[in-house]
Structure 1
Amino acid sequence: MVGLTSGISRRALAEILEQVYRQYHQRDYVHPDPLEFLYAWEDVQEREIVGLVASCLAYGRVVQILKSVSAVLEKIGPSPHRFITRSTLKTMQQTFSGFRHRFADGDQMAVLLYGAGRVVRQFGSLEKGLAAGLTPDRKNLLPALAHFFGQLTRGRRSPGHLLPDPGKTSACKRLHLYLRWMVRADRVDPGGWRCVAPSELIVPLDTHMHTVGRRLGFTHRLQADMRTALEVTAGFKAICAEDPVRFDFSLTRLGIRSDLNMDSLPRRQP
């Protein structure tokens, strides 16, 4: 990990981040964010499926993301859990015929949800499917995520770009975003999963968090890949070891919303 921001103490940086957190970690700042779809589902077994859909589609223009998530949930019906556990792959392919979200088509969405249904039928829930890959001596969640990915994608067909492979060098932003939503529980993240502690989460590294990480001196790397995600996470762990992604939502508002900016954050001196 690169050292803390030059010219500012760890305590001072923590106070700045807490101020940003208090100001922007609010439901009022959620829209437009696919996270908002999870709030309608009290049952965790339903919410974890909605969260998987919303996170896997969380790339591209936000207007299109919200439109695509809405379209999928409308086709799934009132019980996502029932849909994925009782539908055949052929039925799902028919259901999503004509669907498209950037690089993903209806067949890939069907394969993703069929894989999710297979995991739920085998383990009881998506959470238990992830938990099956956890080991007591784990250094991080990457092996468990690789196992989870393998369970979701088992078969001849692939969900393609919808689901990033943790076994490769990608930062897997959408998978870590999904975990943030399902593991953390506060006024923004609805939570529900207990198999993983917030302290184990990895920062969902996108363009905005990469900029933040470089600005705060947590990384010098130009590639927004998994190595960089781990460096940025280590930087936040030095500030908040029990919850390193605590500031993710509030800090990304500074880059996502046109009425906010990053000027409130200190810049690392050369």
Structure 2
Amino acid sequence: MCLPWNTARNAWEVLNIISKEKLERLYKKYESRKYVHPDPLEFLYAYDDLNDREIAGLTASSLAYGRVAQILKSVSYVLDIMGPSPHAFLQNASRAFLRERFEGFRYRFAGGDNLAAMLSGAKQVIEQHGSLYECFLRGLKKNDETILPALSFFASELTRKENPGHLVPLPERGSACKRMNLFLRWMVRTDAVDPGGWEEISPSKLIVPLDVHMHKICFKLGLTARKQANMRTALEITSAFKKLAPDDPVRYDFALTRLGIRDDADPNDLFNL
């Protein structure tokens, strides 16, 4: 993707050029479900029950890498097996049953064993804490500046007795945890696009879901000079966005990522709106 701007000298210069007003116009233009497809977020809209939505969200976000057509195909395959209530499916599923049901699953680096391990870990978390939400809340302290400590706790609980491999990244290893931060954006924020449900977590603590595309945009904007899309970079970019939206630094993530994944979205919109 060819972006229409040069790298600025520092974040303050960028924040003067890319004003809050322009980002707000971009947000309002793309804040609509008609711009969601193709995005695994679309699967969450089928679940009104929060217990089902969080399991569907964990599943969809864990597979959100690679070519989008294959992401949607793989997520659809898994959710179809779990049926109308992923929560009820897990309640009645043993570890052996999960391995059997997903034996034929394969998506890039993830096989059926990885997927079964993640879902088994989710079931164990639900049995111990009551829900994925309650587990995450137990790791979150009131004075935490970001959700990072809670994310570390959540990931450790999901992997306590299971090894889902890369499907559940561990923040302490330096990963940007893009897919997990994407899941949290979906579950914490509530607007026309993000369905929310985890209401006791403040959006102000969220971290930008940083992938190659988002890193490229933010690097060219001068919001970071770091070359690696890791957790340190994600926190630096989040801090820059907090200068514009302190209560919701991930507010513009959906709109900005439309500029690279949809044919009907123009990167020049960031300047021309």
TM-score interval, smaller chain: over 0.9
Indicate conservation of the 8 Å contact 2:146/2:204, yes or no.
no
Alignment partner for residue 13 of structure 1, among 15, 19, 33?
A: 19
The one-letter code sitting in structure 2 at the alignment partner of 1:147 is F
What is the aligned partner in structure 2 of residue 238 from structure 1?
243
**Cα deviation, residue 5, structure 1:** 5.0
Provide the rounded CA distance (Å) in 2 between the counterparts of 1:258 and 1:212.
17
> Could you tell which deviates more after superposition, 82-91 or 54-63?
82-91
Unaligned runs of 5+ in 2: 1-8
Indicate whether 1:169 and 2:174 are aligned.
Answer: yes
Q: Which residue number in structure 2 is paired with residue 77 of structure 1?
A: 83
Task: Classify 1:201/1:8 alpha carbon distance in 2 versus 1 (closer, same or farther; 3 Å).
Answer: closer
1:198 aligns with 2:203: yes
Q: Following superposition of structure 1 onto structure 2, how do residues 19-98 of structure 1 map, counting pairs within 5 Å? A: 19-98=25-104
Given the superposition, is the C-alpha separation of residues 7 and 257 from structure 1 closer, same or farther in structure 2, using an over 3 Å criterion?
closer
State the alpha-carbon separation in 1 of the partners of residues 63 and 230 from structure 2.
Answer: 19
Q: Scaled by the length of structure 1, what TM-score is found?
A: 0.93
- For residues 125 and 99 of structure 2, the distance between their equivalents in structure 1, rounded to whole angstroms, comes to 18
The 3-state SS of whatever aligns with 1:167 is helix
- Whether the 8 Å CA contact 2:11–2:224 is kept in 1: the answer is no
Aligned-partner Cα distance in 1 for 2:200–2:78: 27
5 Å-filtered alignment, 1:101-250, equals: 101-155=107-161, 157-250=162-255
Change (3 A) 1:95 1:263: same
**One-letter amino acid of the structure 2 residue matched with residue 190 of structure 1:** P
**Which residue of 1 is the match for residue 3 of structure 2?**
none
Q: Name which of structure 1's ranges 139-148 and 26-35 shifts more when overlaid on structure 2.
A: 139-148
Between the aligned partners of 1:75 and 1:200, the Cα distance in structure 2 is 34
* Aligned position for 1:4: 11
How many residues in Structure 1 have an aligned counterpart in Structure 2? 263
- Any stretches of 5+ residues in structure 1 without a counterpart? none
Letter in 2 for 1:4: A
Deviates more, 1:140-149 or 1:108-117: 140-149
* Native 8 Å contact 1:208 1:256 kept in 2: no
Q: Per-residue CA shift, 1:170-206, capped at 9, x if unaligned?
A: 1100000000000001100000002310111000001
Root-mean-square deviation (CA, aligned residues, Å) is 1.5
Distance 1:230 1:56 in 2: 20
* C-alpha contact (below 8 Å) 1:127/1:195 kept by paired residues: no
Give how far 1:55 is off: 0.2
Q: 1:238 to 1:7 in 2, by over 3 A?
A: closer
After superposing on structure 2, the runs of 4+ consecutive aligned residues of structure 1 that deviate more than 4 Å are: none
CA distance change for structure 1 residues 201 and 216 in 2, over 3 Å: closer, same or farther? same
Shift of 1:63: 0.5
Q: Secondary structure at the match of 1:136?
A: coil
